[in-house]
A and B are shown apart, each in its own frame.
Chain A
């Protein structure tokens, strides 16, 4: 080995034998992925039905938004925004007890309550909002309410996880000082933990709202109210122009939502 030779000084992180091995591995991995994807993309596509380029262009043009349809969808669009709002609010409310259980520093019992808190978080985070919506539409019927509950169930995991982590990372000093005054569990939590966690909590709630606006637009497609319901109706009846108008409306809603949440966030940071 050349390591014993003091003249040829090699960067120990970039020895040629290692480099060769590394790039061989990269090449093999890329080749395997490509080989598997041939099956997916080339054999899996219905080339016969795709139509000529001009037909593709025609369909694409027919999706251009029909602006006359926009006034008719303002009301469901507002419904979508309100669904996002209430879903987020419900998630925020639910995340307070869940994060209390799921933070190692606050949970009453590491054996009983901690796994319950963590389990709820995993359940919420690993289930797609469409799944939740399908379940609640089946339970509660069509309309915005199952959508709101679905959004809440989807966001509560994110809110609880980030809040629990913030509580675990809270500075121990002030908490110790509050305990030293003879304060009980509630005072310890409200005065020692909450003030430290609150700005992070609020920032994440705004982030969750942002994501929920986008999610709420989709949920209508499975019957949970809002703009999505109209989009799927128009698609099914081949009114591509109207469907395009729905998409445009959602894009605008998301942009507006993002502007508002950005405003609030910068205010929070500076204030």
Chain B
């Protein structure tokens, strides 16, 4: 059975705009899957419906045979711990230190008292330090998060997600706020860690190059519908044109514009 199964997921916003129009997808254990599509194709909404930062209107999300969509508040919190999320804008708490940001990945499991007093467990602190050195920010752990560069901040975001010991990584446009070189470093790091810890990754991206380089399978989204779902090697010029509505990097692209 697949680790993540999404069945007929639908979501419309209050404006009436249909963000997701019956999405089905699967992510297998140890698989890295790219969600490819233009802005507004529903990639972000799809990721947020999986951990229910956004509640879907209908459909099913099943993670490791738990139906996420039917969970109550308390069980949902437990289920969210299983899914680490990495964000386009990093979403760090700027005024907290790097290590505190990483430790905030344990907030789903620590007691209320530890949350209030910020007294994290010793073994969690050790693990946070280990993760910081794994992602390459060991020398910055006592700095405030807003003193770091974009690439370093995204590394903090990765460490925070890993702090949850997740079964799945949801990664929302991890490279869009970074320059191509730093973005590639970050993607490489995510894939290395996914391989090391055998965590499957579902990442959204609008850059074909990034999708092609780092994914094993590509799911193409267009206006809330899945229009492509194949091995990355099967992504040819025609399927790109299908996903994007035009051929962005083909030889005819210059003329077509």
Chain A interfacial positions (CB closer than 8 Å to B) = 173-174, 176-184, 186-187, 190-192, 195-196, 198-199
Contact = CB atoms under 8 A, between A and B. Distances in A.
A195 B94 contact: yes
Contacts of B90: 173
A180 B51 contact: yes
Contact of B95 (A176, A184, A199): A199
Contacts of A184: 77, 107, 112, 115
Interface of B: 51, 53, 77-81, 83, 85, 87, 89-96, 104-109, 112, 115-116, 157, 160, 163-164
A183 B94 contact: no
A131 to B, nearest CB: 37
A186 B115 contact: yes
Contact of A196 (B53, B77, B94, B106): B94
A174 B91 contact: yes
Nearest to A180: B85
A191 B96 contact: yes
B53 A182 contact: no
Contacts of A187: 104, 107-108, 115
A174 B93 contact: yes
Contacts of A199: 95
B93 A186 contact: no
B115 A190 contact: yes
Of A177, A181, A190, A192, chain B has the most CB atoms within 10 Å of the CB of A181
Contacts of B80: 179-182
A100 to B, nearest CB: 14
Contacts of B79: 182
Given A174-B93, A186-B116, A190-B115, A181 B53 contact: no
Nearest to A191: B104
Contacts of A191: 93, 96, 104, 107, 115
| Minimum-distance CB pairs A-B, first 4 | A182-B108, A182-B80, A183-B107, A177-B91
A178 B81 CA distance: 11
A74 to B, nearest CB: 40
29 contacts: A174-B93, A174-B94, A176-B87, A176-B91, A177-B85, A177-B92, A178-B107, A180-B51, A180-B53, A181-B104, A181-B106, A181-B107, A182-B78, A182-B107, A182-B109, A183-B104, A183-B107, A183-B108, A184-B77, A184-B115, A186-B115, A187-B107, A187-B115, A190-B116, A191-B96, A191-B104, A192-B93, A195-B95, A196-B93
A182 B79 CA distance: 7
Nearest to B109: A182
Contacts of B89: 173
Contacts of B163: 181
A191 B112 CA distance: 12
Contacts of A178: 93, 104, 107
B93 A176 contact: no
A47 B78 CA distance: 80
